[in-house]
Structure 1
């Protein structure tokens, strides 16, 4: 299934993606960049103006400039619609006041290192 999709042999497919580092490039570059055509760019969409913007954003350390470049790239992506997202999960984290030092990860990965339960 994945191999055929990477070869462009799919009319439609269902696949999931979870970002693992919090950077916009982990979504925009990895899923829609021209460099990812043989990787995770299953849409096989390569748009040079979009690609230029995400490369410029990746190369600058100025956060305001990065934000603006990624916003521009997202507008191009929105207008082109190379892929249609159909769902986005909501993650719930149960908590108790007796649980100490548990850190909720924005990536959905739970680490219990250093966690303790008071009174135990």
Structure 2
């Protein structure tokens, strides 16, 4: 699959990456549309938050279609159209159990610490 990558130094390029396989509890999606947010432009120029991990694939405003399901996924079906939530959280730490997933002990953020969505 192709993805867009930036190093935070004003450079942006596309590269070929292997197609990921969904782990248990995950879904693999095909990106259908990505919004370009002001923070994406900032990321290209190294103006992301301090937890940004370069090089990265920006794109946290994503609409997609489910193409494959990992084991134990029951709430989605192949072909479903989805919008991605910007945070990836564990769901089991104290903050998550109290509904404060944005303070998760293992919080990851799409387009900042894990690959975002790109559509070419």
| TM-score for both structures, normalised by structure 1 | 0.27
Return the structure number with greater strand share.
2
| TM-score for both structures, normalised by structure 2 | 0.27
Return the structure number with greater helix share.
1
Name the structure, 1 or 2, with higher relative contact order (CA <8 Å, separation 6+).
Answer: 2
Q: Over alpha carbons, which structure has the higher Rg?
A: 1
